[in-house]
With several copies, the nearest count.
Chain A
Amino acid sequence: MSEFTVSIGGQAGEGINRGGLLLARIAGLLGYRVYMYYDYPSLIRGGHNFATIRAAEKDCGGIARRPDFLCAMDQETIRRHTGIEIIVYDTDVAKAEGIGVPASSIIKEENASPIARNTVIIGAFCRAAGIPREIMEEAIRREFGSRAEENIRLALRGYHESREGRSVEIKTPQESPVMTGNDAIALGLIRGGLDAYVSYPMTPSSSILHTMADLARDSPLIVVHPENEIAVITMALGLSYAGKRVAVGTSGGGFCLMNEGVSLAGMAEIPVVIVMAMRPGPSTGMPTYSSQADLGFVLHAGHGEFPRIVIAPGTTNEAYEWSARAVHLAWQFQCPTFILSDKNLGEHPASTDIDPDFPIPSPSTHYREGIYRRYCTTDNGISPLRFPPVPGNVVKVNSYTHDEDGITTEEPRKAAAAMVKLIRKGATLDNEMGLYGCVRVDGISDAPIAVICFGSTGEACREVGERLSLRVVRPIVLEPFPIMQFAEALHEAEEIIIVEENATGQLASLIQRFGYTADRNIRSVNGRPFTIDELEGIIREVIE
């Protein structure tokens, strides 16, 4: 097997995520590129969780097909996941045709914590998949650190009680970290120059907060979790005004509460990066599942009109690099800058190669000395950004329509000038984005059929595109919409298929504004990502 997929399933609280991560580590040490999909309902104990780890030759961001192996922690897992070749399960709690080990008894005998049962099962899986013991042990050592020895003992018990099933290929070991999109966003923001992160927990953005809080332990990074999202965004704007580079993170409901702050940032030209992680709505919706239904909202959020940047990375690497750039761009253009992510990108670990020294341009600042006017008129609409104290000067920012000094005005001519300044800044921004590769093309770049998608749907589309020889066009930057690059990417395309995870076709509606109409729309609203086979089937159907 040059590629394999293994799932692990059980109840919340049984360590399914951790088990999945361990499996991902094992696959990584075997020399595979890995991607893990993690499915869990919004509860703390019970229910049914599962993780599906795909081990492939090349980078991937989607799960391809029915797994080859299943690690079942309970009967429910066996009931739900059918048609799988090799099932490894706990004979103490479940019945199945497959490779059973008495995991619960082993835990009892070893006097271990019940949560460690996953290790026993994974040990059994390693034997079944012909994975060398040393690799298993090394993976456990890395995953569990100080608690490694105990876990190795448990895994070996599982290993010995198991038997061989079907062997996976062993490749050249490599050392890429397996990290989630949220990890990559956190690290990217730090790379981009972040000084502070402010956030109120909300799935699927919370793990950025947790990672940031962890990283802040021994660094000057400031991390604050305030009383609610309104405080988050306004506190962030205060930090930004005082000279800190700051980001916030949230999901739909929390983002609603930030809208007024976004509009303030737009008017007062206070830079801030906003990570907006989508999940299915409306309202509370399905907190632990994924969606792409907030694109239109983010493009229009906040009252009034002002330049904004909306970036939707589609891979973990892109999440890192574009988050770093987002910080730069936000401070360069002094406007709210969005990382539009979702659960599928944010919470799923994948093999990643990120450059800790990824280069970021330093922002240009024109102000030298003399009188400082926060909103002074310039050709490109960008006024020099300074932070108090500016010797001999005051820095006045204002949510009202204001003059160059930041003083409120209601005079029609000055009001129009203030708006013209914002619009001009938007035009400068639009130009500057031409320097970046804002549209990614995968598959066959001159194929007549083009699949258009954005964000986390991109990886599944890419793989299907490769399989079916289609062109796959994915704008990474959605605002300002990179129409030149997009038009070029679609040059001579004859048929357009739009794939997106929402009900009303928000990407379709966006590109329609630029004169591109979809011939076919593929949409999904159940919160689960398209699997690659499923998407392949649907696309095959529409193109035939």
Chain B
Amino acid sequence: MKGAEYISQTQNTWCPGCGNFTIQHAIKSVLSDLGIPREEAVIVSGIGCHAKIADYMQTNSFYAIHGRAIPVATGISLGNPDLTIICSAGDGDAYAEGLDHLIFAAKRNVDITVIIHDNRVYGLTTGQYTPTSPPGFAGKSTPEGVKEDPFNPLDLMLSAGATFIARSYSRDKKGMEEVLKAAIQHKGFSFVEVLQVCATFYDVHTCYDDHVYRLEGNDPEDRRAAEVLVREWNYSGEGRIPLGILYSRDAPTFEERILAGKEGEIDRTGLIQRAIAKR
């Protein structure tokens, strides 16, 4: 399928300059490159600007609720592990409202790709701080500056047991495509943090342009190296910002473990009879 066939006819209402466009088009290209037909791909999204991607992609989609894209995606994957499931979540979505689900998906090694459209702000609700906003961020709910420091989601993911951790940037489409391709191909939980520029409420693209760099020659299986890379930039202050695959390892997936031996039809009558016999 050609890339364009993955884009729906729905009128797009992202702001000009919004980093979500890059993510949408990178997904499109990667699906096309990997030859995944649109009927076999599912976009699962939360609620927020990022989530509109569910309407904009001509693939299967589950436009879910704020913070809950990940458990929905987990359910879909358990229900049909042959589908390619891409979960588009916002930073408000996945780091605040539904952080627990993100950590559990990593812990379980659910075979889905989670893309966090991390614009470090609540876009759709017009500009409040999120867990990755920098210290002092003055949003509508924190006009005097936020009173807590950001956390580093990559660091949390490493602790939670994620088997694939990467970072991309919405002004590096090519790098993003490479990362996404690897993420989708990775067997197990793939976590892709995208520094997605919000043109309207937190446009820090010049700062990112100055600080990002593409990883080269790192060994993603080296956990110790990954720890250092992950902490090179802490979402506050300066620091070089590595882009690319920071960590990757093999492990059995949740689907493999849960669904092992579960092929075939349920013998309902037999099951009920056996249960009755025990009572």
A contacts B directly (C-beta below 8 A) = yes
Please report A residues at the B interface, Cβ cutoff 8 Å: 13, 41-47, 177-179, 183, 186-187, 190-191, 193, 195-196, 198-203, 206, 209-211, 213-215, 217, 219-228, 230-231, 234-244, 246, 253, 260-261, 264, 268, 283-284, 349, 354, 356-357, 387-400, 406-408
Complex CA gap A512/B71 in Å reads 40
B100: chain A residues at CB < 8 Å are 227-228, 231
User: Which residues does chain B contribute within 8 Å of A196, judged by CB atoms?
Assistant: 78-79
Residue B271 lies at the interface, judged by CB distance under 8 Å to chain A: yes
| Distance A392 CA – B259 CA, assembled complex (angstroms) | 28
The answer to whether B276 and A238 touch across the interface, beta carbons within 8 angstroms, is: no
Compute how far the CA of A240 lies from the CA of B74 in the bound complex, rounded to whole angstroms: 12
Q: For residue A28, which residue of chain B has the nearest CB? A: B279
- Of the candidates B64, B101, B265, B267, the one having the most CB atoms from chain A within 10 angstroms of its own CB is B64
In the complex, the answer to whether A46 meets B13 with C-beta atoms within 8 Å is: yes
Of all chain A residues, the one with the shortest Cβ separation from B9 is A407
Interface contact B83-A388, CB-CB below 8 Å: yes
Closest partner residue, chain B, to A356 (CB atom): B272
The answer to whether A397 touches B61 (Cβ under 8 A) is: yes
Query: Does the CB pair A238–B125 fall under 8 Å?
Result: no
Residues 49-80 of B, flagged 1 when their CB comes within 8 A of A and 0 if not, give: 10010110011111111111001111111111
Q: How far is the CB of A38 from chain B (nearest CB, A)?
A: 14
Of listed B58, B65, B99, B273, residue having the most chain A CB within 10 A: B65
Most chain-B CB neighbours within 10 Å: which of A228, A236, A261?
A: A228
Chain B 95-131 near chain A by CB (<8 Å), digits 1 or 0: 0111111001000000000000000001111101101
Contact B262 A238 (CB under 8 A): no
Residue among B65, B79, B141 making CB contact with A225, cutoff 8 Å = B141
Chain B residue nearest to A178 (CB atoms) is B279
The answer to whether A357 and B269 touch across the interface, beta carbons within 8 angstroms, is yes
Alpha-carbon separation in the docked complex, A235 to B122 (Å):
21
Q: Choose among A187, A243, A260, A407 the residue that contacts B79 (Cβ–Cβ < 8 A).
A: A243
CB distance from A189 to the nearest CB of B (A): 10
> Known: A235-B75, A393-B39. Is A217-B143 also a contact (CB below 8 A)?
yes
* A44 and B124 contacting across the interface, CB-CB below 8 Å: yes
B17 to chain A, nearest CB (A): 9
Residues of B with C-beta under 8 A to A230: 68, 71, 98, 101
Inter-chain contacts of B238 with A (CB < 8 A): none
* B56 CB to nearest A CB, Å: 9
- 9 of the cross-chain contacts (CB-CB < 8 Å) are A41-B13, A203-B125, A209-B141, A227-B100, A228-B98, A264-B65, A356-B276, A393-B39, A394-B61
In whole angstroms, what is the CA distance A387 to B251 when docked? 29
Chain A residues within 8 Å of B269, by CB:
356-357
Q: How far is the CA of A43 from the CA of B13 in the complex (A)?
A: 7
Interface contact A253-B66, CB-CB below 8 Å: yes
- Return A266 CB to nearest CB of chain B, in Å: 12
Question: A394 and B266 in contact (CB under 8 A), knowing A238-B73, A239-B76?
Answer: no
Cβ-defined partner of A235 (8 Å) among B66, B74, B128, B140? B74
Q: How many residues of B contact A (CB 8 A)?
A: 77
Cα–Cα, bound, A211→B272 (Å)? 11
Q: Does B236 contact A (CB under 8 A)?
A: no
Asked if residues B61 and A227 are in contact (CB atoms below 8 Å), the reply is no
Chain B nearest CB from A246 CB (Å) reads: 8
| Contact between A238 and B72, CB atoms less than 8 A apart | yes
Q: Which residue of B lies closest to A207 (CB)?
A: B140
Q: How far in angstroms is the closest Cβ of chain B from A352?
A: 8
User: Which one of B97, B262, B273, B279 has the greatest number of beta carbons of chain A within 10 Å?
Assistant: B279
With A219-B271, A394-B60 as contacts: A13 and B15 at CB distance below 8 Å: yes
B60 and A396 contact, CB distance less than 8 A: yes
A42 touches B60 (CB 8 A): no
Whether B68 contacts A213 by the Cβ 8 Å rule is no
Q: Judge if B16 is at the interface, Cβ distance under 8 Å.
A: yes
A400 contact from B63, B97, B262, Cβ within 8 A: B63
Contact of B55 among A213, A260, A390, A407 (CB under 8 A): A407
Given that A215-B275, A241-B76, A400-B63 are contacting pairs, would A226 and B104 also be in contact in the complex, using a CB cutoff of 8 Å? Answer: yes
Contact partner of B78 (CB less than 8 A), chosen from A191, A214, A239, A396, is: A239
In the complex, residue of chain B having the shortest beta-carbon distance to the beta carbon of A403: B10
- A193 and B267 alpha carbons, distance in the complex (Å): 10
- Cα distance, A400 to B232, chains bound together (Å): 39
Residues from chain A with a CB closer than 8 A to the CB of B63 are: 284, 396-400, 406, 408
Point out the residues of chain B lying under 8 angstroms from A349, CB to CB. 279
CB distance from B142 to the nearest CB of A (A): 7
Report whether A191 and B272 are in contact in the complex, using a CB–CB cutoff of 8 Å: yes
Q: Are B143 and A228 in contact (CB under 8 A)?
A: no
Q: Which residue of B lies closest to A357 (CB)?
A: B269
Q: Is the CB of B200 within 8 A of A44?
A: yes
Q: Which residue of B lies closest to A211 (CB)?
A: B275
Q: Which residues of the partner chain B approach A178 to less than 8 Å between Cβ atoms?
A: 279
Question: Could you say which residues of chain B place their CB within 8 Å of the CB of A354?
Answer: 272, 276
Q: Does B47 contact A (CB under 8 A)?
A: yes
Residue of A with least CB distance to B265: A220
Q: Identify the closest chain A residue to B99 (Cβ).
A: A227
- Contact B268–A408 (Cβ < 8 Å): no
B217 within 8 A of A: no
Q: Which residues of B contact A357 (CB under 8 A)?
A: 269
Evaluate contact between B75 and A45: CB separation under 8 angstroms. no
A130: min CB distance to chain B, Å: 26
For A41, the chain B residues whose CB sits under 8 A away are 13
- How far is B66's CA from A224's CA once the two chains are assembled, in angstroms? 20
In the complex, what residues of A have CB within 8 A of residue B54's CB? Answer: 396, 398
Give the shortest distance, in Å, between B63 (CB) and chain A (any CB).
Answer: 4
Q: Would you call B276 and A224 a contact (CB within 8 A)?
A: no
- Which residues of the partner chain A approach B209 to less than 8 Å between Cβ atoms? none
By a CB distance below 8 angstroms, the chain B residues around A390 are 39
Query: B98 to chain A: which residues have CB within 8 Å?
Result: 228, 230
- Cα(A31)–Cα(B203), bound, Å: 42
Bits for B1-40, please: 1 = Cβ < 8 Å to A, else 0: 0000000101001111000000000000000000001111
Are B75 and A234 closer than 8 Å at their CB atoms?
Answer: yes
Confirm or deny: B237 has a beta carbon within 8 angstroms of a beta carbon on chain A: no
With A238-B71, A242-B75 as contacts: A213 and B140 at CB distance below 8 Å = yes
Partner of B13, one of A47, A199, A227: A47
Residue of B nearest to A231 (CB): B71
Could you say which residues of chain A place their CB within 8 Å of the CB of B83? Answer: 242, 388-389
Whether A388 contacts B101 by the Cβ 8 Å rule is no
- 20 more A-B residue pairs beyond the given contacts A235-B74, A356-B276, A390-B39, with a C-beta to C-beta distance below 8 A: A44-B200, A190-B272, A213-B140, A213-B143, A214-B143, A221-B262, A222-B262, A227-B104, A235-B75, A239-B75, A240-B79, A283-B65, A284-B47, A284-B65, A354-B272, A356-B269, A389-B37, A392-B39, A394-B59, A397-B63
Cross-chain contact of B67 among A46, A177, A228 (Cβ < 8 A) = A228
Q: Which residue of A lies closest to B103 (CB)?
A: A227
Q: Which 9 residue pairs across A and B have the least CB separation, nearest first?
A: A238-B75, A242-B79, A177-B279, A235-B75, A45-B15, A225-B141, A43-B13, A234-B71, A356-B272
User: A264 and B64: CB pair below 8 A?
Assistant: yes
Kindly provide the distance from the CB of B83 to the nearest chain A CB, expressed in whole angstroms: 6
| Contact A227/B266 with A44-B49, A214-B143 known, Cβ cut-off 8 Å | no
Nearest CB on A from B74, distance (A): 5
